[in-house]
Amino acid sequence: MMDSNSTTNKKVRILFVCLGNICRSPAAEGIMKKLVEKNELQDFIEVDSAGTSGWHEGELPDERMRAHGEKRAYNFSSPARKFRKADFDNFDYIIVMDKNNYNNVKSMSDGKEQAGKIRMMTDYSVQHSHHDYVPDPYYGGASGFELVLDLLEDACEGLLQAIKSQ
Ligand code: 4NP
């Protein structure tokens, strides 16, 4: 498992991306970090998040997202930042939440290698495989935030399995 990385000590670097970087992607970051710690893989996997917009730059995650996360024992605390071109060099997986995120990130990519790093979060869904994007919860109610957490927990498990089997 993960031999090529352990021999070179090169981490697998994952960046989750949504629109505002205050709801979906910081939640994905927090869920994945907790899963990585639970599996004692902190030395092998690094996780971050960003938004295609800079609208909420420097802000903590949305308080509704934080409250729903706390009910599941997560602490979402990563301040928002905007996705930048250098992220294509700094990350191995750039994982977007919906098709708009995909198109925005893709339009900033340069060549096949960079574009090939972009994946939909729902590509890693296992239990929730009938969803093909993670819906934006920002203008909706509590059930939207719960759905986001259900989809992200499932896809983070699937992503970890995919990385482990590399
Ligand atoms: P996110 O949700 O992309 O999951 O962080 C949103 C956050 C803020 C806005 C839209 C979506 N907004 O319009 O400010």
79-113 residue pLDDT tens: 999 999 999 999 999 999 999 999 999 999 999 99
Atom of ligand 1 at shortest range from CA of 61:
5
* Separation CA 56–CA 39 (nearest Å): 32
Q: Is the shortest distance between the CB of 21 and ligand 1 below 6 Å?
A: yes
Nearest-CA neighbor of 69 among 134, 145, 17?
A: 145
Do β-strands 12-18 and 93-96 pair in parallel, antiparallel, or remain unpaired? parallel
Look at the pTM and tell me if it is higher than 0.85: yes
> 139 CA to middle of ligand 1, Å?
8
Q: Strand pairing partners for 48?
A: 15
Atom of ligand 1 at shortest range from CA of 19:
3
Residue of the CA atom closest to atom 8 of ligand 1? 20
**Domain boundaries of the chain, sorted by first residue:** 12-164
Decide which of 3.40.50.2300, 3.40.50.1370, 3.30.70.260, 3.40.440.10 is the CATH code for 12-164: 3.40.50.2300
> 62 CA to middle of ligand 1, Å?
9
C-alpha pair distances (Å), 70 with each of 22, 73, 75, 96:
15, 5, 6, 23
Give tens-digit pLDDT for 40-79.
999 999 999 999 999 999 999 999 999 999 999 999 999 9
